[in-house]
Structure 1
């Protein structure tokens, strides 16, 4: 029975939209990126350690993490990226486990994990891996349109993520969200839910 689904995809692939459609089908969502943001906001439990590791330069005016400043640092320095992960990952892991346990044993839990393939540990945690895929050109276009980032900034994020071929190779199912309408995407998600999860939620 499928009760734990790992959801991943590159930036701009439409992964968050698919997550919302799975929730509409009855899944409980555990969003690791949302957890990362919450623990690094003003008053978040990660902030003292982040300030100790990186100094005041990564602290925004409101007391939370200046994500743009942090992004520039880790893109330029692999050691800084490792230090950031050493602070965030244990805290994210603890909160992820708490939310999954709170969902209950009968729930179908979708773990939205942008770096699922890169981390290497999720395959043993989830029953199925769902990858939302799109070409890099489409990823770039979507992120520039929604966020105002430069194409170069988007490319820097894409370069930090696993190549598409590796994500697809790790998948039990792939949704190629290149030119789908929302209705078509919803139909695809509903079909996958019926195949994987409907029998467990009756």
Structure 2
């Protein structure tokens, strides 16, 4: 099972995407529908609202008068907090019930209008954002929903910005065209990414990123944040630290378009214990990778292979290749991953040198991943000593 968060601003066209996903087999949980359900006539939720806000929030038929409730609940933070304290636990509990009822091999799509505003993006395997330009949305709201223009613009302004949505989006569906265009894009996303993603999670398959060097992309920083936040959501206090490392974490450095992340743990027994949790979260283990290449201690020149042990996971998402390196706190590999990143950020000459080494290794490897990795190792042996010296000099 994978969970997909579906969101977008008012008038963006989420309903078209939701319908398309349902037609292709999605198990849909509609947050707005759940919120209405928990306060239906006769429900404990509605009774709690009446007790808190008075029976004048009811219509003649006993159902909730939402404008009347809003007039009382949104007057200040205290009243809003009272409302949230009643409804949020009920919505959460009902959502969990629906999740528990989902088939184990399903793709659960949770339609949540305020997903960005509620900061829940990291709790999903993927977040799909539906977007349309503001003027397009205003036109739809005024012509199809009967809102006046001022009201439409006010509602749009009250929600997350496009930039905020982009910051959490794993997939971005533009709805500036026709509904058919959007449905076709949603269908392609479902078939080409979401279905393989769910199958990869079940089968514990890691997606290998393309073996090529791309020009430095500022978007890599945001991609790294998404992965780090996702891993925190999956692992919680099982991790000591989670850091974006590797070439995509260094601004201005050409890199393979694969995000490298380091999870620091107290010891590797912890990593072994959460291997299945991480796999269910979208990051299966690669069992045949159990160590970094050992390097000699810069001071003693002694190499201890046991100190370089690690665990390695990768992404099951065909749309975002990720390497997850899990290392024990204080181990040479754990320290070097952070220090090497910081050295490249700090030293433009080292950064340029490494870019050249990678370009030559890529050309010589001729599409062979192992050859590419091995071609860089002699340079890394020397870089390990240089990074150690750089760190000592910085700390003096």
**How does the TM-score come out when normalised to structure 1?**
0.87
Q: Which residue of 2 aligns with 1:66?
A: 65
Aligned mate of 1:176, from 174, 186, 204: 174
- The higher relative CO (CA closer than 8 Å, separation ≥ 6) is in 1
CA deviation profile, 1:86-132 (whole Å, cap 9, x unmatched)? 211111111111111111211100011111111123422x1000011
**Is 1:120 matched with 2:104?**
no
SS at match of 1:174: strand
Residues of 2 paired with 1:45 and 1:38: CA distance?
11
Q: Which residue of 2 aligns with 1:129?
A: 127
Deviates more, 1:102-111 or 1:141-150: 141-150
Instruction: Label 1:61 to 1:141 Cα distance change in 2 as closer, same or farther (>3 A).
Output: farther
Q: Please show how residues 1-202 of structure 1 align to structure 2 within 5 Å.
A: 3-74=2-73, 76-124=75-123, 126-178=124-176, 180-199=177-196, 200=198
Q: 1:75 touches 1:156 (CA, 8 Å); kept in 2?
A: no
Q: 1:107 touches 1:201 (CA, 8 Å); kept in 2?
A: no
Residues of 2 paired with 1:82 and 1:140: CA distance?
30
Residues of 2 paired with 1:164 and 1:75: CA distance?
25
Residues of 1 paired with 2:131 and 2:54: CA distance?
37
How big is the shift at 1:201? 6.0
Residues of 2 paired with 1:74 and 1:158: CA distance?
21
Q: 1:44 touches 1:64 (CA, 8 Å); kept in 2?
A: no
Instruction: Label 1:89 to 1:190 Cα distance change in 2 as closer, same or farther (>3 A).
Output: same
Residues of 2 paired with 1:146 and 1:79: CA distance?
35
**How does the TM-score come out when normalised to structure 2?**
0.47
Structure 1 or 2: larger helix share?
Answer: 1
SS at match of 1:46: helix
In the alignment, structure 1 segments of 5+ residues that lack a partner are: none
Instruction: Label 1:110 to 1:147 Cα distance change in 2 as closer, same or farther (>3 A).
Output: same
* Number of equivalenced pairs: 199
How big is the shift at 1:141? 2.7
How big is the shift at 1:34? 0.5
Query: What is the root-mean-square deviation in Å for CA atoms of aligned residues?
Result: 2.2
After superposing on structure 2, the runs of 4+ consecutive aligned residues of structure 1 that deviate more than 6 Å are none
In the alignment, structure 2 segments of 5+ residues that lack a partner are: 201-396
Residues of 2 paired with 1:69 and 1:26: CA distance?
38
Q: Which residue of 1 aligns with 2:310?
A: none
